[in-house]
Structure 1
Amino acid sequence: MKIGILTSGGDCPGLNAVIRGIVLKGSEAYGFDFVGFKHGWRGVVEGSFIPLAEEHVRFLANQGGTILGSSRTNPYEGPFGGPENIKRMMLKHGIDAIIAIGGEGTLTAARRLSEEGINIVGVPKTIDNDIQETDYSFGFTTAVEIATDALDRIRTTAESHDRCIIVEVMGRYAGWIALHAGMAAGANAILIPEHPVSLGQIAEWALEVRDRGSAPVFVVSEGFTLEEMDEAHSHKGLDPFNRPLLGGIADILAPQIEALTGIETRAVSLGHVQRGGVPSAYDRVLATRLGIAAVDAAHDEQWGSTVVLKGTDIETVSLSSATQEPKSVPEYRYYEAAALFG
């Protein structure tokens, strides 16, 4: 069997470890051949790929980014997009199946193509941790560690200047990064999309912190909305899947907090630094295990499936069940953290 591997969507620590796990297990155990599509679905629709053999992947586990490149290309768009064109490309090059490594947009596209008769296995990838059916996705732990380190550093400068600092992290409409990094760093409030609060409540938390002689440090997820907002802040247009490009909510909140409290307030957006660098040991292991399980699923012809983490075990579920809707922070997890606010 000849399998094409792609990494699509936002880059993520651990992608190379997945590729390594797929190629080493598939080559050694099953005698499969592999190619890597360049820049995600773009490489699929353009028929652009490179060979992937054991010598290409042997030492990739600790390498950040992706050796294949990535993009947010929609495989249904463009003159070479759509299932029939992709089938022709695969037949021309003798590619029997695709292992698609990506987040919600990538796996949704994989599900649709699978339903059109293309042999696909998915691997969930997102620092946002918002894929259903998997307890954690690789890259999330690394992103949380980066955000936690940033919050620790920001607290020292906040205390030095008696400032309030609000730190914006990624996550789209899921608040997992904000929740975990905020709890780990002792943030004075954690603002997530799943739980809108009023500007007055945020100001009250800031004043509580100031009144006991400290400096407020808040963490906000990019998809957070105030109670008085109709939708998440977005001023950057849409991505290729017609989803709003979020970001900038910290800049909206900071001057309003300062106006209400009189506390000098600054906004910091961590942005793409959360995606960069080498993966944590945990993410390297999880990514490798998912890669091994994905090639096992391909060997067993479990098309239309994706591998996931359930507890400490890797399981295989349908792409359909994994892409029905994003996985949100449950209410009880928010209230665990909220007990520590102010």
Structure 2
Amino acid sequence: MRVGVLTGGRDCPGLNAVVRAVVRKGVQEYGYEFVGFVDGWRGPLEGDTVPLDIPAVRGTLPQGGTILGTSRTHPLDEEDGVRRIRDNLDKLRVDALITIGGRDTLGTAARLADEHGLPCVAVPKTIDNDLSGTDRTLGFDTAVNVATGAIDRLHTTAESHKRVLVVEVMGGDAGWIAVHSGLAGGANVVLIPEQPFDIDQVCAWVTSRFRASYSPIVVVGDGARPRGGAPVLTHVPSAASGRVRLSGVGEWLAGQIEQRTGKEARTTVLGHLQRGGSPSPFDRWLATRFGLHAVDAVRDGDFGKMVALRGTDIVRVPIAEATARIKTVDPALYEEIGVFFG
């Protein structure tokens, strides 16, 4: 059997560890051949490949990014996209395709599998942790570690200068990174997209913190918005992608806090620091297990499925089910951490 592998969407730590595990087990235990498709869905769309064997993946376990490259190509937007992919898979003698990605990449895999019969197996990756069907997505743990480390460092400068520090983290429409890093880093306010915030309440928490002779840290997800308002954006949809890039709420929030409380406020936008660099030990463990189970699904002919973490077990769920909705922060969980606000 010859198996294709691709990584699509935005990069995240642990992608290479998945590819490594897929190739190692597939070659050593099943005698499979592998081909790497370059730059996400662009690879099968254009037939662009690189050799993928055990020497190619050696030493990649701790390596960030993706040795296969990635892109946000959407083959279903192409008039003849499905035909081109099918023709290229046939030409390259590829019998199955392992797709590693987030909601967009796996949403495409679900449609190709369910509507067009292409033999796809999926692996969930996104630092946002917003894929339903799995307890954790690849890359999330590393992003939380990076954000928590930054918050730890910012506490000392906040206290030294008696100022408010606002930390903007990624997450899109889900506040998982904000909740986890904010709680772990001892933030005094955590704001998430799922719960529109009252700016007067935020300023009251900030003022309360100063009364206790401490300088507050405010963690805000980049998709958070004030009550009754729209997301604060510094990037509008581009003509090329049509996608909105969220960023700007941290700077806006710092300005509002300074104006309303009279306290100096500064913003740190962590941005791509959260998705770059070497994966955490947990993400290496998770990526490796995902890869091992993904190649098992190929062996079993169990296509149209995504490997997922449930507790400590790796299970298989329909890709379409896992991408049908965004997994957001439970209001009860957010309420639980509210005792630390202010």
Task: State whether TM-score is above 0.5.
Answer: yes
Shift of residue 319, structure 1, vs aligned partner: 0.6
Map Cα deviations across residues 309-334 of structure 1 (whole Å, 9 max, x no partner): 00000000001110111100001110
SS at match of 1:339: helix
Is residue 112–residue 118 contact of structure 2 (8 Å, CA) maintained in 1?
Answer: yes
Return 5+ residue gaps in structure 1 as ranges. none
Is residue 198–residue 228 contact of structure 1 (8 Å, CA) maintained in 2?
Answer: no
Is residue 294–residue 307 contact of structure 1 (8 Å, CA) maintained in 2?
Answer: yes
Is residue 14–residue 64 contact of structure 1 (8 Å, CA) maintained in 2?
Answer: yes
Alignment partners' CA distance in 2, 1:237 and 1:340: 34
Query: What does residue 35 of structure 2 align with?
Result: 35
| Aligned residue runs from structure 1 range 4-15, under 5 A | 4-15=4-15
Query: What does residue 68 of structure 2 align with?
Result: 68
| Aligned residue runs from structure 1 range 128-139, under 5 A | 128-139=128-139
**Do the aligned partners of residues 319 and 8 (structure 1) sit closer, same or farther apart at CA in structure 2, a change above 3 Å counting?**
same
Map Cα deviations across residues 159-216 of structure 1 (whole Å, 9 max, x no partner): 1111101100000000000000000010001000111121001001100111111111
Map Cα deviations across residues 96-133 of structure 1 (whole Å, 9 max, x no partner): 11111000111111111112111100000001100001
Aligned residues: 340
Shift of residue 242, structure 1, vs aligned partner: 4.2
- TM-score, structure 1 as length reference: 0.97
Alignment partners' CA distance in 1, 2:237 and 2:299: 37
Is residue 74–residue 241 contact of structure 1 (8 Å, CA) maintained in 2?
Answer: no
Q: Residue 108 of structure 1 aligns to which amino acid in structure 2?
A: G
How well do the aligned residues superpose, as a CA RMSD in angstroms? Answer: 1.3
Query: What does residue 253 of structure 2 align with?
Result: 253
Map Cα deviations across residues 26-47 of structure 1 (whole Å, 9 max, x no partner): 1111111101111111112111
| Aligned residue runs from structure 1 range 196-215, under 5 A | 196-215=196-215
Is residue 126–residue 139 contact of structure 2 (8 Å, CA) maintained in 1?
Answer: yes
Q: Residue 326 of structure 1 aligns to which amino acid in structure 2?
A: I
Alignment partners' CA distance in 1, 2:233 and 2:242: 13
Shift of residue 59, structure 1, vs aligned partner: 2.0
Is residue 105–residue 241 contact of structure 1 (8 Å, CA) maintained in 2?
Answer: no
Query: What does residue 93 of structure 1 align with?
Result: 92
Alignment partners' CA distance in 1, 2:18 and 2:314: 13
Alignment partners' CA distance in 2, 1:26 and 1:107: 21
Query: What does residue 235 of structure 2 align with?
Result: 236
Is residue 124–residue 308 contact of structure 2 (8 Å, CA) maintained in 1?
Answer: yes
Is residue 24–residue 58 contact of structure 1 (8 Å, CA) maintained in 2?
Answer: no
Query: What does residue 114 of structure 1 align with?
Result: 113
SS at match of 1:247: coil
- TM-score, structure 2 as length reference: 0.97
Map Cα deviations across residues 18-65 of structure 1 (whole Å, 9 max, x no partner): 001100111111111101111111112111011111111132111111
Return 5+ residue gaps in structure 2 as ranges. none
Shifted more, 298-307 versus 236-245: the winner is 236-245
Is residue 190–residue 220 contact of structure 1 (8 Å, CA) maintained in 2?
Answer: yes
Q: Residue 150 of structure 1 aligns to which amino acid in structure 2?
A: A
Is residue 83–residue 118 contact of structure 1 (8 Å, CA) maintained in 2?
Answer: no
Is residue 46–residue 84 contact of structure 2 (8 Å, CA) maintained in 1?
Answer: no
Map Cα deviations across residues 62-100 of structure 1 (whole Å, 9 max, x no partner): 111111111111122347x52111101111111111111
Percent pairwise identity: 48
Shift of residue 241, structure 1, vs aligned partner: 6.6
Q: Residue 61 of structure 1 aligns to which amino acid in structure 2?
A: L
Alignment partners' CA distance in 1, 2:218 and 2:60: 36
Query: What does residue 220 of structure 1 align with?
Result: 220
SS at match of 1:326: coil
